[in-house]
């Protein structure tokens, strides 16, 4: 039987909205998987596990009353260069290791309005200056499919978190810009 976190996003949303599964169960299964794989993968710089469990119980109560949000209880990993109010945002650098922004990035506001849960901040090349997620002050992220390889990109922590089933979805960024002709 598939674990909850192995199901596709659309199926999880339907199961949660229909109250066939609880947000708390999904969140706890993800956190257990993170505990199991994170020492080898190192996708996260900061994990907000206790906060995520508390938030999941709150969202389960909201879902019992309404089905209005698009991502109810979906657990999201966020690249560590995206501001999340009062949560560490290091950009993969020692210089910012104690910085917590006083505001949320717009994308964070939009995610929270949809009752999603932010599990933690993911590893990245320092200040997104790299293409492998090997050059973080906090150490490299490993590719979950072959740990002798890099996950690729400066958003490799976010990519690895999804690939290793540590988050349902993740946010990254495109530092280099769009070069499609």
Band of the pLDDT at 87, cuts 50, 70, 90? very high
pTM across the whole model: 0.93
| 4-171: CATH topology | Amidase signature (AS) enzymes (3.90.1300)
Average pLDDT value over all residues in the chain: 93
- Contact assessment for residue 154 and residue 124, using Cβ atoms and an 8 Å cutoff: yes
Here the tokens at position 25 are: 């169960």
Task: Answer whether residue 177 shows pLDDT above 70.
Answer: no
Give residue 174's pLDDT.
Answer: 81
Rg (CA), the chain: 16
Give per-residue pLDDT as tens, 107-135. 999 999 999 999 999 999 999 998 899 99
Residue 26 pLDDT class (50, 70, 90 cuts): very high
Question: pLDDT value at position 123?
Answer: 98
Q: Minimal CA–CA distance to 172: which of 136, 102, 110, 125?
A: 125
CB burial of residue 18 (10 Å; 0-12, 13-18, 19+) = exposed
pLDDT at position 2 over 90: no
What is the pLDDT, as a whole number, of residue 179? Answer: 44
At residue 78, the 3 state secondary structure works out as strand
Average pLDDT rounded to a whole number, residues 159-165: 97
Order of strands, edge to edge, in the sheet holding 44-47?
A: 44-47, 117-122, 75-79, 169-171
Residue 44 is predicted with a pLDDT of 98
Residue 175 vs residue 139, higher pLDDT: 139
The structure tokens listed for 102 are 């006083």
pLDDT of the residue at 1: 57
pLDDT tens digits for range 32-79: 999 999 999 999 999 999 999 999 999 999 888 876 688 999 999 999
The pair of structure tokens assigned to 32 is 């257990």
Q: Using CA atoms, how far apart are residues 53 and 35, in angstroms rounded to an integer?
A: 14
Q: For residues 133 and 139, give the distance between their C-alpha atoms in angstroms, rounded to a whole number.
A: 9
pLDDT, position 67: 66
Predicted local confidence at residue 64, as pLDDT: 81
């Amino acid at each position: 039987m598939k674990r909850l976190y192995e199901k596709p996003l659309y199926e999880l949303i339907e199961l949660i909205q229909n109250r066939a599964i609880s947000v708390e169960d999904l969140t706890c299964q993800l956190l257990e998987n993170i505990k199991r794989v994170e020492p080898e993968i190192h996708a996260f710089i900061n994990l907000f596990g206790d906060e995520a469990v508390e938030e999941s119980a709150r969202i389960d109560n909201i879902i019992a009353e309404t089905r209005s949000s698009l991502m109810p209880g979906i657990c999201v990993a966020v690249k560590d260069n995206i501001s999340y109010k009062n949560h560490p945002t290091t950009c993969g650098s020692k210089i910012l290791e104690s910085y917590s922004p006083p505001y949320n990035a717009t994308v964070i506001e939009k995610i929270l309005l949809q009752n999603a849960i932010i599990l933690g901040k993911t590893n990245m090349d320092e200040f997104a200056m790299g293409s492998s997620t090997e050059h973080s002050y906090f150490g490299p992220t490993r590719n979950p499919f072959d740990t002798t390889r890099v996950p690729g990109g400066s958003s490799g922590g976010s990519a690895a978190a999804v690939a290793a089933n540590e988050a349902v979805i993740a946010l990254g960024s495109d530092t280099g810009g769009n070069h499609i002709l």
